[in-house]
Every structure is written in C-alpha cells, then in structure tokens.
C-alpha cells in the first residue's frame, strides 16, 4: 500500500483567487513525503482496511494561520494522523488572523476541487458560514475544529457539520485565572486581556477567567480586547498597571498577548509582583515560564485537536454521514494542562 501526504500552505486573496505561500512568500509552497509499506499477508488489520477504503477519497484541512506555534503544532498533528491512517490530506491556512476573505477563497477552491471531506478552523464564528453551507449543499462532509461556527446562522443558510472538535475554552480561562487566584489574596485587583471581539474561543476564555476571579472575590478592574497581538496587549497591560499600581494579576487569552503583557510588567518594574498567565502552551511562552518570567500558561493540545478532527472527518466520509441541517453535533473535547515552573 502506498501512503502519501501532501501539505499545501496557502494564503489566498479575493483579488487574485490564487494560492500563495504563508508568511512573506508569494509562491505556493508544497511539501510531499512518501512512505512505502508492503503487506506480508492477506490478513490485514482493521486499521489497514480502513486506510485502504479511504485511499480514493480526497480530504482537506483549512486552518486559521501558520503564524503561531499553536497552529504549526496542529498542522503537524494532522500530518501525523494522515500518515498513521494511510491517507492523503491537503492542508491550507489563511495568511493571518485578519485574512477573512482569503480563508473564504480557500474553502471556495476546495469546493471546486471536489474534496469528499473538509475540516475547517474558521477565523471567526461567521466568516465561513455561508461557504460551509455551500459545501454541504454540494455533498461535501464538513468537520468544524477549534473555533465554533455560528450554528443558528448555519441552519438558516441550509448547512450542517458532522462534528466539532476543540478545547473547552471556558474551562481553559477558568484554569488560567485559577492559578492567579491561588497566589493572591482575596480582594486583589486583576485584569483580563481578551482576544479579538467576536471570536468565540477568546470570548469563552475571558468568560471563564472572569467567572473564576469573581467567584474567588477578586476585583476585575478591566477586560479589554488585545486582538491576539503582542503590542496591543503590551499597551493594554501598561494602561492597567499605571491606572492600578496595586494590580496583582493579568490573564491573557493567548500566549502572544501574555508575552506582551509580561513585557509591560517588566517595563514598569513589577516582575515578581504581578502574575501573568497566558494560554496555548506555545514554545516561547513555556520557555518564559521556565525562566521564572511568565507565571504560567494553559497548554492546549493543538496536535490532538487536528488529529481528532481528521479522524472524525474520515469516519464520517466513510459512513456517508454529512450531518443534518438544524442538528448541532456534540463537542468532542481535547483537554488542556496548566504549565508552571514547578
């Protein structure tokens, strides 16, 4: 049996509707690996049989971006699972977190290219809804990963998905805030730096953090969007610190913003006085935690999310399951872990 994985990193613009490589490159990038295996008997395992039955199917996974460690790990998780299952999968991503039209164009191209199944991690709850509905109506099986699509709007547009794989982001926010709660006194002042307004995963994390802080009797002096951006988070944290000299903690909805907030703490001479906790478990953030700078990060399992999303997609395609309009699939959760220096 011949097993092949093709990974295509694409950033698309509506102006050109052409594929472009992620990052600063303007060319399509393609990485291909081939692994050869030889069956030594006709008594194949169930896993091998499943791989064989999937070999003639076309699968694609569309991620948000490749700009952070989180999405790089998810990409790798998809590749590894595809190799394990003996299938081909084409992986795409938008150019950045703002590339809404580009991500739509990627999905449009995948529809036109005749994929049997597509897993999507939308940039927002709404940017891919109408295109996912179009894919569903074209007979394509869709699995939703990471950011949950607006399922009410999906129903209105006559679309459906067969699965939803993500981390419980309310629990993630609660876990991150919980570390601060355990290390400060009741009544202490804390702040939250959110993701991008309208982004469901960021809003859920902020919600979980706020609920944990308030339940513990801490004073939340502010909760503002940082748009997943380090500089914006640095500015927001600086403002929080200057307006609240007795601030004791900052929870950030991703690690990029947490590192920006950490820099603000350092700039204000407050390192060791203000706890800063991030989210995602990015390599740079974990290194900072090990150095005793960033207080903690809630590490998700992006590789696990990607792998599970692909697994559910293949199972659904093989079963001929395309979902049903108006039926919201149960969430398939992938757990998170609090990472501290200890």
Checking if the pLDDT of 93 tops 90, the result is yes
Instruction: Tell me what pLDDT residue 199 has.
Output: 85
What b/e string do you get for 229-267 counting C-beta neighbours within 10 Å, with b at 16 or more? bbebbbbbbbebbeebeebbbbbbbbbbbbbbbbbbbee
Checking if the pLDDT of 52 tops 80, the result is no
Instruction: Tell me what pLDDT residue 55 has.
Output: 63
Measure the CA–CA gap between 25 and 48, rounded to whole angstroms.
Answer: 38
Measure the CA–CA gap between 171 and 168, rounded to whole angstroms.
Answer: 5
Cα–Cα nearest to 90, from 119, 112, 65: 119
Lowest mean pLDDT among 54-58, 134-138, 232-236, 302-306: 54-58
pLDDT in tens, 161-172: 999 999 999 999
Q: Cα 9 vs. chain centroid, distance in angstroms?
A: 16
What confidence tier does 67 reach under pLDDT thresholds 50, 70, 90?
confident
Q: Please, what are the domains in the chain?
A: 2-165+302-332 (3.40.50.2300), 169-299 (3.40.50.2300)
pTM of the model: 0.71
Angle between helices 129-137 and 100-112 (to 10 degrees): 0
Which comes out higher in pLDDT, residue 129 or 342? 129
Instruction: Tell me what pLDDT residue 29 has.
Output: 30
Q: Which residue has the tokens 């700039």?
A: 267
Q: What is the helix (H) or strand (E) element at residue 237, kind and residue range?
A: helix 230-243
Q: Which residue has the tokens 């990471």?
A: 146
Q: Which residue has the tokens 């790798």?
A: 76
Apex 252 CA angle, 248 and 253, nearest 5:
155
Instruction: Tell me what pLDDT residue 264 has.
Output: 98
Instruction: Tell me what pLDDT residue 328 has.
Output: 95
Measure the CA–CA gap between 203 and 196, rounded to whole angstroms.
Answer: 8
Which comes out higher in pLDDT, residue 230 or 17? 230
Q: Give me the count of residues in the chain.
A: 342
Q: Cα 221 vs. chain centroid, distance in angstroms?
A: 28
Average pLDDT, the chain: 86
């Amino acid at each position: 049996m011949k097993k092949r994985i093709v990974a295509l990193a694409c950033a698309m613009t509506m102006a050109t509707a052409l594929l472009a490589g992620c990052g600063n490159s303007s060319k399509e990038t393609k990485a291909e690996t081939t692994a050869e295996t030889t069956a030594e008997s006709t008594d194949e395992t169930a896993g091998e049989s499943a791989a064989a039955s999937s070999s003639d199917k076309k699968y694609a996974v569309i991620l948000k971006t490749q700009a952070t460690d989180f999405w790089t790990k998810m990409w790798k998780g998809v590749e590894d699972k595809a190799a394990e299952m003996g299938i081909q999968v084409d992986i795409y991503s938008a150019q950045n977190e703002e590339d809404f039209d580009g991500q739509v164009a990627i999905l449009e191209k995948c529809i036109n290219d005749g994929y049997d199944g597509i897993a999507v991690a939308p940039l927002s709850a709404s940017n891919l809804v109408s295109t996912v509905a179009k894919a569903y109506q074209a007979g394509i099986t869709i699995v939703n990963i990471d950011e949950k699509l607006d399922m009410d709007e999906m129903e209105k547009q006559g679309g459906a998905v067969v699965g939803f794989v993500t981390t419980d982001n309310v629990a993630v926010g609660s876990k991150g805030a919980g570390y601060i709660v355990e290390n400060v006194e009741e009544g202490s002042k804390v702040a939250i730096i959110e993701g991008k307004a309208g982004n469901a995963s960021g809003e859920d994390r902020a919600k979980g953090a706020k609920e944990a802080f308030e339940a513990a009797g801490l004073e939340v002096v502010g909760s503002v969007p940082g748009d997943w951006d380090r500089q914006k988070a640095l500015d927001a944290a600086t403002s929080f610190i200057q307006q609240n000299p007795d601030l004791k903690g900052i929870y950030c909805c991703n690690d990029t913003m947490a590192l920006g907030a950490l820099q603000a703490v350092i700039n204000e001479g407050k390192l060791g006085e203000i706890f800063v906790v991030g989210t995602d478990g990015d390599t740079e953030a974990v290194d900072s935690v090990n150095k005793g700078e960033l207080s903690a990060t809630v590490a998700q399992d992006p590789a696990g999310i990607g792998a599970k999303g692909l697994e559910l997609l293949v199972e659904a395609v093989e079963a001929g399951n395309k979902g049903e309009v108006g039926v919201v699939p149960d969430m398939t959760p992938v757990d998170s872990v609090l990472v501290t220096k200890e």
